[in-house]
Amino acid sequence: MPFTAHDLRYRPEQSYPLLYAYLHRNAQRYLGSLKYDAFEVDTVVGHVVEQLVRLGLFAGGDSSPKNALDHLSDAQFYAFLSRSVHNKAIDRLRKRHFPISTSAELESTERDEPEDDPMEGAATSLWGSAPFSTPEEITLHLSSQLALRNVLKHCIQKLQAAPNQLQAILHELADIGADDLLQVLSEDFQLSLPSSNPLNPHLSQHKDHAHKKIRLCLQKESSNLTVTVALRLCEYKHLSHETHEYTVDLQTLAQDDLSVDAVHSALNELVADGLLSWHNGEEMVHLDSAQVKRLTRFYKEE
Amino acid sequence: MSDYNQDEGLSLPSNHQQQALALWLQQLLQEPSLPDVPTSLPTPRFDSPVELLFQGNYHLHFYQQLPDFCMALLSNDPLAAVHYASLLYHLVSCHECHSAYLDLYDSLRTAVFPQGVRPILGQGTRTLDATPHRMLGHLCQTLISQAEALLLQARHDHSDANQPARALLQLTLQISAHIVQGTTRREALHDLVRVATLFDGAPASQSPDSDAYAYSPALPGSSKVRSGILRSSRRQPASQPPDAPAIQLRARNLDGLITQHGKMLELHLQDLDQLLQGRFLCINVPLGSLFEPVLWRGGNPRSIRSTSPVDPNGSLVTPLGETELQLSNPEERNMLEALFLLLQVRACDQDAG
């Protein structure tokens, strides 16, 4: 019987031997000249197995959330495993510094499918390269997308409690010429632009601390969540002609992709930042025009 | 998926400011790198253990988002980058997760948009016993490492991952029982006690303790030459036939033995310190609570009180608990041996103090 992704998740002890056998066959197929090196074959197999454990699939049971791999058809899942083995085999061939002539050697071996040459397709793909294939590409995307750049603004804003660190970051932004972002931040914090201040003698130290805080903040799920909810507040606010206030209900903020708890958490964060007045348990967020202006300026305009 | 376009949606026109900001972000996000690892690998021996991919650089929270993120990109979800913003920021700073992302994206793309012949389906009737023991050992190490990662992440998140971590460790015990070679099995379970007792409030130290004896299974056939005298590492109790199955234990220069009478597991200790003579001992089996098929005497494997005091010769024989598992069955014996990877003994009145 073939195994399935479901078997790996719920019947790991029974399905591991079958998984091993399948990966082993593929590893031998893709390792070319290293196919008879038991250590290399097992290393490739081991790395794929570890990947499945780390992804929460193998032996994940119900405690590990299901992901895209669980929703592949059996044929797609086998294709996924086969390609994973292929990629790991290429890693091993490269790490062992196998010369390119290996390809020629491989071509002379028996081939039942064009994919048997592990080096084929290693550098280029029929579909082109993956998006976000380098850190440079990711940061360019992050800095050019308004919604993503808002997360950066949010994290810089969190430095308000440490004015020297905030000043160090504003200095850096001025140095690199990020004038638009600098302008928004300076207006919001009502700070004078750094160039008009004398240089802080501990600027470098403040900068290092600020970098660490921003780094952690950017990678926190809650930062993105807060920005998402702030943007939705700006987008879905409704003006009441009776009270002359803006309102948004929590369900509108949650939409289909956020839990009510997540919305609560984000609203509490915005309250802590002084951008809202909302209390736990209230089903509606009320905003006055000054709050709307500040939220919109900070999270939407640039 | 060839038409993913980062200029769609909310993007702004690229300009000098964005490029400068991107460069600054990259410098900010990339933490100081570790020293370079050698680029060429020494030729391994055929029996070398397979090393784990992740040695402390596994970021569970981000890593487990990768398949869904890749699939969102492959489905041309315009909000993929926004929904996974924190992951994207992380990928800039983490080489391991970024490499894993590229690998998974490529594999999923091949799965979703197949080119050429589909791979053959897995077939066979293989069993764990027929699987190379080196790979069973590697799987055990991976499962233990994953259990540790779950526990650490849960502590970070102020949540509870005891149940899934425990399930992984129990699976480890079951799989390790199929490893026949003692040294391979020992290597496979090297971190088991440490991880199983990571945050249980009473860490089971394997370090020397002046008040406690820490026993662990002796490797088969081991014998020690001490002070010029060759001593057998196993002394069978007089009540046991010479070839009766048993688990031999060692604590520095002391021997111990676990035997079985029917369902009852029995601990035999000898050459105990004079200070312990005439005193009752408390026995701690840290992995005991991991393993349900043993009904421990007194109900708590962390504190089993001996039924009698240490005799004037420094010996003690005391029951530990009952089990359906049989030491005479090789797999069940291996499982029991794993259970006793650490057995600590101390005088009961020391516990009270």
What pLDDT digit, counting tens, does each position of B145-201 carry?
999 999 999 998 889 999 999 999 999 999 999 999 888 999 999 999 999 988 775
Chain A residue whose CA is closest to B144? A53
pLDDT of residue B142: 97
pLDDT of residue A125: 54
Rounded to whole angstroms, what are the CA distances from B82 to A78, A115, B60? Answer: 30, 35, 20
B149 alpha-carbon distance from chain centroid: 10
Higher per-residue pLDDT: B55 or A262: A262
Same domain for B163 and B218? no
| Structure token digits, residue A35 | 């196919």
Structure confidence by residue, pLDDT tens digits, B67-121 = 999 999 999 998 899 889 999 999 999 999 999 999 999 999 999 998 776 666 6
What dihedral angle (degrees, nearest 10) is formed by the CA atoms of B296, B297, B299, B301?
-60
Radius of gyration of chain A (CA): 27
CA distance A188 to chain B (A): 19
* CATH at A253: 1.10.10.10
Asked, for residue B47, whether it belongs to a domain, the answer is: no
B-proximal residues of A, 183-212, CB under 8 Å: 211
**Separation of alpha carbons A4 and A117, rounded Å:** 27
Same domain for B334 and B217? yes
pLDDT of residue A222: 84
Q: What is the mean pLDDT of residues B263-271?
A: 94
Asked, for residue A69, whether it belongs to a domain, the answer is: yes
Same domain for A200 and A294? no
Higher per-residue pLDDT: B5 or A176: A176
Pairing between β-strand B316-323 and β-strand B229-232 as defined by DSSP bridges: unpaired
A97 DSSP 8-state letter: T
Same domain for A151 and A91? no
Q: Residue A254 is part of which domain span? A: 223-299
Same domain for B248 and B300? yes
With bands split at pLDDT 50, 70 and 90, how would you rate the model's confidence at B231? very low
| Structure token digits, residue A135 | 């850190």
CA distance A10 to chain B (A): 11
Report which of B324, B322, B320 is spatially closest to residue B302, judged by C-alpha positions: B320
Asked, for residue A127, whether it belongs to a domain, the answer is: no
User: Total structural domains in chain A?
Assistant: 3
The parts of chain A modelled with pLDDT lower than 70 are: 1, 98-127, 188-199, 300-302
Spell out which residues of chain B touch residue A45, defining contact as CB-CB under 8 Å.
Answer: 135
pLDDT of residue B2: 38
Q: Is the pLDDT of residue B296 over 80?
A: yes
Q: Do B50 and A42 touch (CB under 8 A)?
A: yes
How many CB pairs below 8 Å do chains A and B form together?
286
CA distance A26 to chain B (A): 9
Asked, for residue A237, whether it belongs to a domain, the answer is: yes
Spell out which residues of chain B touch residue A181, defining contact as CB-CB under 8 Å.
Answer: 17, 21
User: Total structural domains in chain B?
Assistant: 2
**Separation of alpha carbons B276 and B272, rounded Å:** 7
Q: Is the pLDDT of residue B64 over 60?
A: yes
pLDDT of residue B167: 95
Task: Point out the domain boundary residue: A163, A190, A218.
Answer: A218
Asked, for residue A203, whether it belongs to a domain, the answer is: yes
Task: Point out the domain boundary residue: A197, A218, A239.
Answer: A218
Same domain for B177 and B255? no
Q: Is the pLDDT of residue B35 over 80?
A: no
pLDDT of residue A221: 84
> A153 and A173 in contact (C-beta within 8 Å)?
no
- Of A106-120, A259-273, B2-16, B227-241, where does the model show the most confidence? A259-273
Same domain for B218 and B324? yes
Higher per-residue pLDDT: A209 or B230: A209
pLDDT of residue A255: 87
Residue A289 burial (CB < 10 Å; 0-12/13-18/19+)? exposed
Q: Do A141 and B6 touch (CB under 8 A)?
A: yes
Q: What is the mean pLDDT of residues B16-36?
A: 80
Rounded to whole angstroms, what are the CA distances from A295 to A109, A183, A255, A289, B150? Answer: 65, 15, 20, 10, 38
Higher per-residue pLDDT: A12 or B213: A12
- Residue A15 contacts by C-beta under 8 Å, 6 or more apart in sequence? A3, A7, A8
Same domain for B261 and B338? yes
Q: Residue B255 is part of which domain span? A: 213-224+243-352
Chain A residue whose CA is closest to B94? A135
Task: Calculate the average pLDDT of chain B.
Answer: 82
> A170 and A191 in contact (C-beta within 8 Å)?
yes
The CB density around residue B129, as the number of other CB atoms within 10 Å, is: 12
Spell out which residues of chain B touch residue A43, defining contact as CB-CB under 8 Å.
Answer: 50-51
Asked, for residue A139, whether it belongs to a domain, the answer is: no
